[in-house]
Amino acid sequence: MIFGLTSPRIKLGLESIQQGVTGMSVGENIKRFREDAGYTQKQLAEIIQVKEPYISALERGQRRPGKKILPLLCDALGVDEKTILFGTREEYQRPLSYEEKVLLAATESLSKDQLREVIQYMMKLKASGE
């Protein structure tokens, strides 16, 4: 899981899932959320460390995301597994920007007190308008 963005994993009965509640297939959902996130197929492939043709096959419905790939897709697209599988927008989250990801990575090993100091500094910075 990248930066702890996804919810607890749901049981994956992917073989039986054809279309979500919106009538869209898993592949169509992946394509829609990829486009919403502003990623090309190549960029998404790089983020989740697969080859670009795999993303294309997912979106065309020729392949389905496996147990290892689905969480990576969810993290990259900023949605939970239910959203990818069923197409709902419940718990939809926008993808993090590069800067937000760097900030999260930089704060991962900080103590709670150090995190509070960082937050206080950010609040002061935001209030100053700089």
The token duo for 46 is 């790089």
User: How is residue 77 annotated by DSSP?
Assistant: H
**Residue 6 neighbours by CB distance under 10 Å:** 23
The predicted pLDDT at position 94 comes to 64
61-91 pLDDT, tens digit per residue, is: 999 999 999 999 998 998 888 888 887 654 3
Instruction: Identify the segments of the chain with pLDDT beneath 50.
Output: 1-22, 90-92
Q: Which of 75, 96, 95, 74 is nearest to 85 (CA)?
A: 74
Helix, strand, or coil here: 19? strand
CA separation for the pair 41, 23 (Å, rounded): 23
pTM (2 decimals)?
A: 0.52
pLDDT at site 120: 85
What is d(CA 68, CA 45) in angstroms, rounded to the nearest whole number? 14
